[in-house]
Structure 1
Amino acid sequence: MAALIDAIDIKRKAFFEFENAPYYCLESDISTPTARGGQTLVHLKMRNLLTQAVFQKTFKAGEKFKEPDLEIVQASYLYSDGDGSHFLDQASFETLTLSENMMGDDLELLIEGAIIQLHKYNGNPIGLQLPLFVELSVSYAEPGAKGNSSSGSVTKNVKLETGLEIAVPLFIKEGDKVRVATETREFAGRA
């Protein structure tokens, strides 16, 4: 039998099962009552790993959740086609496929050979977890105009090798490698 987790023990980045689906905790907030006899409540912002839907829900502190039958495997991105995006499990060398809606817009951050963490629920691939940062090459950048940098916070838009467009400082040019924060999709420095 799977271990049970109390709602009060669910913290940010934890996995748990609710209504027969795996969830990932994005935020957790505990409110303790000021009156006697009041119940401690746990407010969770959570993502359904099957549908990618994000919502908030409040639970009583003593409510119990099962640990999901979730396996996280290292995989490298191979390619995408009409059937979905294909990954190679680094341990079993099995090809795993994620559908277009399982991928969402994460494809904008993947290049061939990128190593990611793939989620498998009950043995089937259901989604992926990107690293905090990815390194991508700039495929198109307009030249920065001289004299625009006096304020120090001037940016320009560039197009990366995956098609993603982000704002970068003026000194970044075509061919440079940049680090992109996967959570915010923002420039995080030169690679």
Structure 2
Amino acid sequence: MLVARDVREGQVLRLDGDLYRVISVTVHTGTAQLTGAVRATVRNLRTGTVTELRWPLDTRLEDVPLERVELQFLYADPEEVVLMHPETFEQFTVPRAALERYLPFLKEGSSVYAWLYEGRPVDLDLPKQVPLVVASCGAGIRGRAEHTMKEAVLENGMTVMVPQFIQPGDTILVDVETGSYIERLWRK
């Protein structure tokens, strides 16, 4: 158990029987007349839905310890995602809705780190930023267009908005959480 004022980003909490990962947290300390509160944005690990919650500072919450293991991503079908332990060859299924936001960043056969709860994967531990190659994009606008953006299709099929100087073959850094362009890493 922990007190709401001690909740930190990345922790997993059990609320109403479901597991939630804390995405962001803000602690508002009280004043002489107002009591303090904790506001947290959490993601349900079963359904993938994001919710905003608020608790008084001294609310007791149940934190859940998870085990981090390396698994291999096999495939995703319309209902579930299949992962395999590379040493024991044990296969795990996770509801697709829970991992939907990660799927564009996964390649069949690639290794991923997963968080296990009671021996079952409940979430993936991907880096916050992923390098991807630009497969195609428009030519861009000539002249003074430093602040305009254009669409680019990446190697994984995602479409992101990029600056005008990005060309096909460039490797860019993409934010996993938002799916947005961060910076160009190198040019092919």
Q: Give the TM bin, normalised by the shorter chain.
A: 0.7 to 0.9
Q: Measured at CA, do residues 165 and 88 of structure 1 come closer, stay the same or move farther in structure 2, by a change above 3 Å?
A: same
Pair 1:20-2:14 in alignment: no
Q: How many residues align?
A: 185
Aligned to 2:178: 184
CA RMSD of aligned residues (A): 2.5
8 Å contact kept, 1:69–1:122: no
Q: Measured at CA, do residues 111 and 175 of structure 1 come closer, stay the same or move farther in structure 2, by a change above 3 Å?
A: farther
Where do 1:25-174 residues align within 5 Å? 25-35=22-32, 39-82=35-78, 84-89=80-85, 92-145=88-141, 147-148=142-143, 150-174=144-168
| Separation of aligned partners in 2, 1:177 and 1:169 | 13
8 Å contact kept, 1:157–1:168: yes
Equivalent residue in structure 2 for 1:175, among 169, 180, 184: 169
Amino acid corresponding to residue 14 of structure 2 in structure 1 = E
The offset of 1:155, in angstroms, is 2.3
Over the matched positions of the two proteins, sequence identity in percent amounts to: 26
TM-score (norm 1): 0.80
The offset of 1:135, in angstroms, is 1.8
Unaligned runs of at least 5 residues, structure 2: none
| Separation of aligned partners in 1, 2:169 and 2:73 | 22
The offset of 1:39, in angstroms, is 4.2
Which deviations, in whole Å up to 9, do the C-alpha atoms of 1:61-105 show, x marking residues without a partner? 222222215223233433333563333435655333323212223
Which deviations, in whole Å up to 9, do the C-alpha atoms of 1:1-39 show, x marking residues without a partner? xxx211111022222222222221222222333236x64
DSSP-derived class of the 1:127 partner: strand
| Separation of aligned partners in 2, 1:19 and 1:91 | 35
Unaligned runs of at least 5 residues, structure 1: none
